[in-house]
Structure 1
């Protein structure tokens, strides 16, 4: 199937469209598109009356089944090398099947010098959010200051981490940890299952993902999303791990 025919079918999935609207959306000309639409009509996938086009019953069946696959392929095509070289086993099956929701996401590659820096884009949007949620397998010395700043803005902070990071909090940063726990806006959890990734952050505006490479190594690249579907996906991923975690209210 040509790219143009695929795009026409996906566009008509939401209902009948006039030719001018189709041409405008696809940024093409009538002369270039009509031969492709005629092929779709020949195979009984599209019909038209006057200058309005719509899916046939067969077309609707086809695109209903094909759309999730096409959307998933679009996500993977964004950077197939990245997705292929990074471990996605931390994503539960039901969310892996919904990975097409991570549309319009960016895969950003930075220098190794920035590997453990807190992401400035996410930090900025968190200060504009009502809540900030983190799944994290490492400790950053700026966490206490950052979380305190968010709570001064009346944002709820949810932090889910590993038993190892919890131990580090208790042994090396106990005063900061105690101060955080005193604040009712701070919610701390220790996950009871292995979190096989570096970090995931979700707020009102962004989803940030930093998976590990297939060989377990950490690299400086990460996924950054901001569309509503990806935020909902991130919300469900966070819930998955929080359900497997134990709340910590005191040391």
Structure 2
């Protein structure tokens, strides 16, 4: 049974929640913790007369319960409220950065991470424009200089970027990089081969290669996330536009993307 069929079978219960502003607001409010009726009145801007029938419906559906004078989500209610909250955050993230998503190749992001894309809602899109040439690139270099650890997925390589990584490795910063085959081949040539060879004895440096092409560019540190994608056709990597975030959820999302790709990569020392 697919999602549409389930929706049709449960239309009364499911649609009632999404049709009713109050039902949705009550669930989302309680998702943050228990509330008294007076608090729900303040949060929703509604009267007790309007709230009480909705609260009774949610109790009848076993989504909320009362203890003393406070309303709580039941275990099942927590699942429902969390799902509703996640769906709104996902829609908001898609809408907030709609031009970024529309102009880029989203297929480069693995499906499990696309489902969690709402984690990126506290981000900003930076662009190279006007006098801010290399704005994205310079922000990424700043990230590297300030990081206490670095995870990266590189769809392209530049000498300045390689030098910045080398410097941090030699300073003792843990660095793990994943590259696709075409970048790995480039790293075997001058001037990159000598730089890689200079790092081969550093235990805090790991370089991994994926057999499949990677259609993302990622830098995730203990402090910040940077995400670059290919342009919509999936042919040209976009170095002039990137999504950046200091938010802990976005950083965690970036780490999940890195670990997902790391599971498909092989460690190499280019011997």
Identify whether the pair has TM-score above 0.5, normalized to the shorter chain: yes
The count of residues paired between Structure 1 and Structure 2 equals: 242
Shift of the alpha carbon at 1:102? Answer: 2.0
* Alpha-carbon distance, 1:230 to partner: 1.9
Which residue pairs with 2:248 in the alignment?
Answer: 228
User: Does residue 1:166 correspond to 2:177, yes or no?
Assistant: no
- 1:154 and 2:172 aligned: yes
The gaps in structure 2 that reach 5 residues or longer are: 1-18, 59-63
Structure 1 residues 214 and 71 mapped into 2: Cα distance closer, same or farther (>3 Å)?
same
**2:105 is equivalent to residue 93 of structure 1:** no
Whether the 8 Å CA contact 1:144–1:180 is kept in 2: the answer is no
Residue 268 (structure 2) aligns with: 248
Q: Normalization by structure 1: what TM-score?
A: 0.79
Tell me the residue number matched to 1:201. Answer: 219
- TM-score with structure 2 length normalisation? 0.74
- SS of the equivalent of 1:201 reads strand
Deviation at 1:129, TM superposition (A): 3.1
Aligned to 1:42: 53
- Inter-partner Cα distance in structure 2 for 1:22 and 1:124: 45
**Partner of residue 27, structure 1:** none
- Assess if the C-alpha contact under 8 Å between 1:130 and 1:154 holds in 2: no
Q: In the superposition, relative to structure 1, how do residues 213 and 38 fare at CA in structure 2: closer, same or farther (>3 Å)? A: farther
**Per the alignment, do residues 41 and 63 of structure 1 end up closer, same or farther by CA in structure 2, a change over 3 Å counting?**
farther
CA gap 1:178/1:32 in 2 versus in 1, 3 angstroms? closer
Give the distance between the partners of 1:144 and 1:116, measured in 2 at CA: 18
Q: How does 1:20-169 map to 2 (within 5 A)?
A: 30=42, 33-35=45-47, 39-43=50-54, 44-45=57-58, 52=70, 54-55=72-73, 60=78, 62-111=80-129, 114=133, 118-120=137-139, 122-169=140-187
Regions of 4+ moved over 4 Å: 1-8, 18-23, 37-40, 46-62
- The equivalent residue for 2:9 is none
Supply the distance in 1 between the matched residues of 2:155 and 2:79 (Cα, whole angstroms): 44
Cα pair distance change 1:229/1:175, threshold 3 Å: same
Partners of 1:34 and 1:135 in 2: how far apart? 49
* Counterpart for residue 196 of structure 2: 177
RMSD: 3.3
Between the aligned partners of 1:107 and 1:4, the Cα distance in structure 2 is 34
Shift of 1:132: 0.6
**Aligned-partner Cα distance in 2 for 1:116–1:178:** 30
Q: Relative to 1, partners in 2 of residues 1:135 and 1:61: Cα closer, same or farther, differing over 3 Å? A: closer
